[in-house]
Amino acid sequence: MANSSSSKPVLTAAHWGPMLVETDGERVLSSRGALESRHLNSLQTAVPDQVHSKTRVRYPMARKGFLASPDKPQGVRGQDEYVRISWDEALRLIDTQHRRIRESAGPSAIFAGSYGWRSNGVFHKAATLLQRYMSLAGGYTGHSGDYSTGAAQVIMPYVLGGNEVYQQQTSWPLVLEHSDVVVLWSANPLNTLKIAWNASDEQGIGWFEKLKRSGKRLICIDPMRSETVDFFGDSMEWLAPHMGTDVALMLGIAHTLVENDWHDRAFLAACTHGYAIFADYLTGASDGVAKDAAWAAPICGIPESTIRELAQLFSQNRTLLMGGWGMQRQQYGEQKHWMLVTLAAMLGQIGTPGGGFGLSYHFANGGNPTRRAAVLASMQGSVKDGTDAVEKIPVARIVEALENPGGEYQHNGQQKRFPDIRFVWWAGGANFTHHQDTNRLIRAWQKPELVVISECFWTAAARHADIVLPITTSFERNDLTMTGDYSNQHLVPMKQVVAPQGEARNDFDVFAELSERWEAGGMARFTEGKDEMAWLETFYTIAGERGAAQGVTLPPFAEFWEANQLIEMPESEKNARFVRFAAFREDPQGNPLSTPSGKIEIYSERIAAFGYADCPPHPSWIAPDEWHGSAEPGQLELLSSHPAHRLHSQLNYAHLREQYAVAGREPLTLNPEDARARGIENGDVVRVWNDRGQVLAGAVVTDGIRPGTVCLHQGAWPDLDRDNGGVCKNGAVNVLTRDVPTSRLSNGCAANSSLVWMEKYRGPALTVTAFDPPASA
CA 130 → CA 13, 419, 564, 660, distances in Å? Answer: 22, 19, 30, 35
List active site positions: 115, 117
Number of alpha carbons in the 13 Å side-chain half-sphere of residue 359? 25
When pLDDT is averaged across residues 266-276 and rounded to a whole number, the result is: 98
CA 662 → CA 340, 386, 659, 700, 729, distances in Å? Answer: 36, 50, 9, 8, 12
* Residue 687 neighbours by CB distance under 10 Å: 18
Give, as one character, the DSSP assignment of residue 748: -
Number of alpha carbons in the 13 Å side-chain half-sphere of residue 23? 26
Are the C-beta atoms of 9 and 22 separated by less than 8 Å?
Answer: yes
Q: CA-based Rg of the chain, rounded to a whole angstrom?
A: 26
Predicted local confidence at residue 64, as pLDDT: 97
Q: Is 136 helix (H, G, I), strand (E, B) or coil?
A: helix
Q: What does the alpha-carbon distance between residue 102 and residue 220 come to, in Å, rounded to a whole number?
A: 52
Predicted local confidence at residue 6, as pLDDT: 52
Q: Name the β-bridge partners of 711.
A: 639, 669
Mean pLDDT across the chain: 96
Nearest to 565 by CA among 667, 657, 671, 494: 494
Name the strand (E) or helix (H) holding 607.
Answer: helix 605-610
Cα-Cα-Cα-Cα torsion 131, 328, 151, 227, nearest 10 degrees, comes to: -30
Domains, the chain, ordered by start: 61-145+374-381+391-568 (3.40.50.740), 152-370+578-610 (3.40.228.10), 628-760 (2.40.40.20)
Nearest to 129 by CA among 380, 391, 327: 380
Give pairs for 575-578: CB < 8 Å, separation 24+: 575/171, 575/369, 575/370, 575/371, 575/372, 576/171, 576/173, 576/369, 577/171, 577/173, 577/174, 578/168, 578/170, 578/171, 578/174, 578/369, 578/370
pLDDT band of 3, cuts 50, 70, 90: very low
Q: According to the annotation, is 655 in a ligand binding site?
A: no
Three-state SS sequence of 23-34:
ECCCCEEEEEEC
Cα angle for residues 114, 497, 113 (degrees, 5° grid): 5
Q: Give residues with Cβ within 8 angstroms of 765, minimum separation 6.
A: none
Q: Give residues with Cβ within 8 angstroms of 23, minimum separation 6.
A: 2, 3, 5, 9, 10, 29, 497, 498
Predicted local confidence at residue 776, as pLDDT: 87
Three-state SS sequence of 140-204:
CEEEECCCCCCCHHHHHHHHHCCCCCCCCCCCHHHHHHHCCEEEEECCCHHHHCCCCCCECCCCH
Q: In the predicted model, is pLDDT for residue 189 greater than 90?
A: yes
**Burial class of 675 by CB neighbour count within 10 A (0 to 12, 13 to 18, 19+):** buried
Give, as one character, the DSSP assignment of residue 224: B
When pLDDT is averaged across residues 327-350 and rounded to a whole number, the result is: 98
How, if at all, do strands 28-33 and 17-23 pair? antiparallel
> Per-residue DSSP letters for 732-758?
-GGGTS---BS-TTT--B-TT--EEEE
CA 560 → CA 361, 475, 551, distances in Å? Answer: 32, 19, 18
Predicted local confidence at residue 677, as pLDDT: 98
Are the C-beta atoms of 322 and 358 separated by less than 8 Å?
Answer: yes
Q: According to the annotation, is 678 in a ligand binding site?
A: no
Q: What does the alpha-carbon distance between residue 147 and residue 170 come to, in Å, rounded to a whole number?
A: 25
Q: What does the alpha-carbon distance between residue 438 and residue 158 come to, in Å, rounded to a whole number?
A: 32
Q: What does the alpha-carbon distance between residue 427 and residue 143 come to, in Å, rounded to a whole number?
A: 13
Predicted local confidence at residue 387, as pLDDT: 63
Q: Give residues with Cβ within 8 angstroms of 740, minimum separation 6.
A: 331, 625, 750, 753
Predicted local confidence at residue 322, as pLDDT: 98
Q: According to the annotation, is 3 in a ligand binding site?
A: no
Please report which residue ranges of 213-328 form alpha helices under DSSP H: 227-232, 246-259, 265-271, 275-283, 293-300, 304-315
pLDDT band of 117, cuts 50, 70, 90: confident
Predicted local confidence at residue 192, as pLDDT: 96
How, if at all, do strands 685-690 and 693-701 pair? antiparallel
Q: What does the alpha-carbon distance between residue 290 and residue 165 come to, in Å, rounded to a whole number?
A: 31
* Residues present in the chain in total: 777
Name the strand (E) or helix (H) holding 508.
Answer: helix 507-518
* Residue 688 neighbours by CB distance under 10 Å: 26
Predicted local confidence at residue 508, as pLDDT: 98
Q: First and final CA of the chain: distance in angstroms?
A: 27
When pLDDT is averaged across residues 16-21 and rounded to a whole number, the result is: 98
* Residue 568 neighbours by CB distance under 10 Å: 15
Residue 479 phi, psi (nearest 5):
-160, -175
Q: What does the alpha-carbon distance between residue 314 and residue 293 come to, in Å, rounded to a whole number?
A: 15
When pLDDT is averaged across residues 485-502 and rounded to a whole number, the result is: 98
Percent of the chain with pLDDT over 70: 98
Predicted local confidence at residue 719, as pLDDT: 97
Predicted local confidence at residue 386, as pLDDT: 55
Q: What does the alpha-carbon distance between residue 631 and residue 245 come to, in Å, rounded to a whole number?
A: 14
23-76: pLDDT as tens digits: 999 999 999 999 998 899 999 999 999 999 999 999 999 999 999 999 999 999
Q: What does the alpha-carbon distance between residue 547 and residue 289 come to, in Å, rounded to a whole number?
A: 57
* Residue 609 neighbours by CB distance under 10 Å: 10
> Per-residue DSSP letters for 558-596?
HHHHHHT--EEPPP-HHHHT--TTHHHHH-TTTS--SST
Predicted local confidence at residue 636, as pLDDT: 98
Helices 507-518, 126-137: axis angle to 10 degrees equals 10
Q: Is 273 helix (H, G, I), strand (E, B) or coil?
A: strand
Q: According to the annotation, is 329 in a ligand binding site?
A: yes
Q: Give residues with Cβ within 8 angstroms of 716, minimum separation 6.
A: 433, 649, 652, 665, 666, 730, 731, 732, 733, 770
Residue 320 phi, psi (nearest 5):
-115, 120
Q: In the predicted model, is pLDDT for residue 519 greater than 70?
A: yes
Predicted local confidence at residue 114, as pLDDT: 75
**Burial class of 261 by CB neighbour count within 10 A (0 to 12, 13 to 18, 19+):** exposed
Q: What does the alpha-carbon distance between residue 771 and residue 252 come to, in Å, rounded to a whole number?
A: 47
Q: According to the annotation, is 744 in a ligand binding site?
A: no
Predicted local confidence at residue 115, as pLDDT: 81
Q: What does the alpha-carbon distance between residue 480 and residue 560 come to, in Å, rounded to a whole number?
A: 11
* Residue 632 neighbours by CB distance under 10 Å: 7
Q: According to the annotation, is 132 in a ligand binding site?
A: no
